[in-house]
Chain A
Amino acid sequence: MTSSLPTDFLGRIIYLITNYGSSFLRGAGVTIAIAVVGTVIGCLIGFVVGITQTIPIHANDSKLKKFLLKIVNAILKIYVEVFRGTPMIVQAMFIYYGALMYLQISMGMWIAAFFIVSINTGAYMAETVRGGIISVDLGQTEGAKAIGMNHFQTMLYVVFPQTLRNIIPQIGNNLIINIKDSSVLSVIGTVELFYAAKQTAGAFYWYFESMTVAMLVYLAMTLITSFLLRKWEKKLDGAASFDLATTDTLAHTSGLLRGPTRRNGGHRHGR
């Protein structure tokens, strides 16, 4: 069988795809699963941490509340700094072997991968969410307070939806980073795309060819992700125009409208 192996670049690529395509695909599936789950859980962690860090402390608050908030915020700050400030590949080995040797917990490929990617993403997202919340105009909060909303309602109905819209590009960034960086989990035996590519490469010593396939699959995954994220953003922005809820034709010619009338009678307004 060995004698019939192709020797040219293209031939080897085709050989890898036809014989090991399923192994690459399975690896890609694991990569996507880790990236998506890790990003989703990481975002949730980030939301909780970011929102907690922006709870305002009033002079009127009880001493206990002030004390608790200070303690919690200190812990969260340490979490963010530690996980943002160390490489994920080191964290992976640190957590995996630490759990194995000192806590007698064998995490298994999936749990370890989800845990490490989530907690890492969470540290980055916490800062993103905090920045996103701070960047929402203070007037929005005041408007909400002025109709009697408490801090929780203000966040839930007014500030957070706007924060979310503003940080979607950053969530997308994290997802794409996670698709790529989950490759470091190969060091703790997670069989994702890079691991699969390395195994295949090792079988024939076709490193260049195997990594070429891996490159293409990674690129395909990130490009599709980018595309889908853009679509989601557009959808969240809603329609650029709105329809006047009236049959009164005078309303359509009132001088208050900025844009020209559209065919369907709706009005386009500048954005």
Chain B
Amino acid sequence: MGDEILRVGHLGKTFGNNVVLRDIDFTVSKGDVTSIIGSSGSGKSTLLRCINLLETPTCGEILYHGVPINGKDVNASEYRTHVGMVFQTFNLFNNLSVLKNCVIGQTKVLKKNKEESIAHAVTYLEKVGMAPYINAKPHQLSGGQKQRVAIARALAMDPEVLLFDEPTSALDPETVGEVLAVMRSLAREGMTMIVVTHEMAFARDVSNHVVFMSEGIICEEGTPKEIFESPKNARTQEFLARFTQN
């Protein structure tokens, strides 16, 4: 394990009196691919959204290179340029073309010049195989295509970490593959990723760290080998047993 990028400590989140996350601790180092697995409602997505400050944690801390980022005087926007996010529902800007989706953050947020931003965007669109579609609007694309553009949009910001919130859950089985392929190649190139997923094969084969969550707590974490081959926690065993049966 290399340099530590993110450290989540004693993180908690409640909505009203509904406790969604309890005492979450984990760290992410450079080059880590962390998969967060668990049944629906276990708090996986909320955890990811807390890391990107789309949800404000109720307690605990999130350290980015040792600096707490969930305090009052932290510039959340600036922080988010380093920690990209890919959503289950893509969230491409409907009013902009594929190319502009990938350019606007660079020009308006990072203040890069237009030519450079376009070249940079095209590089990543080529990487995800969407370069031919630069003139298309999001509504003209299929789900898998949209998600690949969304990944390119996040990558174009040159983030240090990329968060994936169930990136394939809204896709039909045929297009899941094209998105996972892009994610696999990113992992191979050393991109630091945190992936909330129901794709067990991805978690097992691509990630180097697997976190199993249930009812708002981390039940078990470890290498894919440890989690998938010899899970110690009863709930992990039960969860994985259901998957292997199918």
Contacts and interface: CB of A to CB of B under 8 A. Distances in A.
A177 to B, nearest CB: 27
A160 to B, nearest CB: 9
Interface string B184-204: 000000000000000000000
A165 interface: yes
Contacts of B72: 60
Interface in A250-271: 251, 256, 258, 269-271
Given A242-B137, A258-B142, A147 B91 contact: no
B80 A148 contact: yes
Nearest to A59: B56
Nearest to B110: A148
A256 B144 contact: yes
Nearest to A165: B95
A243 B157 contact: no
A269 B97 CA distance: 14
Contacts of A144: 93
B91 A140 contact: yes
A89 B86 CA distance: 53
Contact of B94 (A59, A162, A256): A162
29 contacts: A139-B87, A139-B91, A140-B94, A142-B54, A142-B85, A144-B93, A145-B76, A145-B80, A146-B54, A146-B84, A146-B154, A147-B81, A147-B109, A148-B81, A148-B110, A148-B157, A157-B104, A157-B108, A158-B95, A241-B140, A242-B135, A242-B140, A243-B135, A245-B134, A246-B132, A248-B132, A256-B145, A269-B141, A271-B140
B78 interface: yes
B92 interface: yes
Contact of B105 (A60, A148, A251): A148
B89 A147 contact: no
Contacts of B52: 146
B132 A161 contact: no
A84 B140 CA distance: 40
Given A157-B108, A244-B133, A246-B131, A271 B139 contact: yes
A149 B142 CA distance: 26
B77 A148 contact: yes
Contacts of B144: 256
A106 interface: no
Interface of A: 58-60, 137, 139-140, 142-150, 153, 157-158, 161-162, 165, 238, 241-246, 248, 251, 256, 258, 269-271
Nearest to A162: B95
B44 interface: no
A153 to B, nearest CB: 6
If over half of A's interface residues share one DSSP class (helix, strand or loop), that class is named, otherwise mixed; here it is loop
A10 to B, nearest CB: 52
B52 to A, nearest CB: 6
A140 B93 contact: yes
Given A60-B72, A148-B78, A148-B80, A143 B140 contact: no
Contacts of A148: 77-78, 80-81, 105, 109-110, 157
Interface in B60-86: 72, 76-78, 80-81, 84-85
Contacts of B132: 244-246, 248, 251
A269 B52 CA distance: 34
Contacts of B92: 143
A145 B134 contact: no
Interface string B111-141: 0000000000000000000011111110111
Contacts of B7: none
Contacts of A147: 80-81, 84, 104-105, 109, 153-154, 157
Contacts of B85: 142, 146
Contacts of B109: 147-149, 153
Given A58-B56, A139-B91, A146-B54, 9 more contacts: A140-B91, A142-B91, A146-B91, A147-B105, A147-B157, A157-B93, A157-B104, A158-B95, A245-B133
Interface centre among A162, A246, A256 (most CB of B within 10 A): A256
B58 to A, nearest CB: 11
Contacts of A243: 135
A209 to B, nearest CB: 50
A59 B72 CA distance: 9
B112 to A, nearest CB: 12
A260 to B, nearest CB: 14
Contact of B89 (A139, A153, A242, A256): A139
B137 A256 contact: no
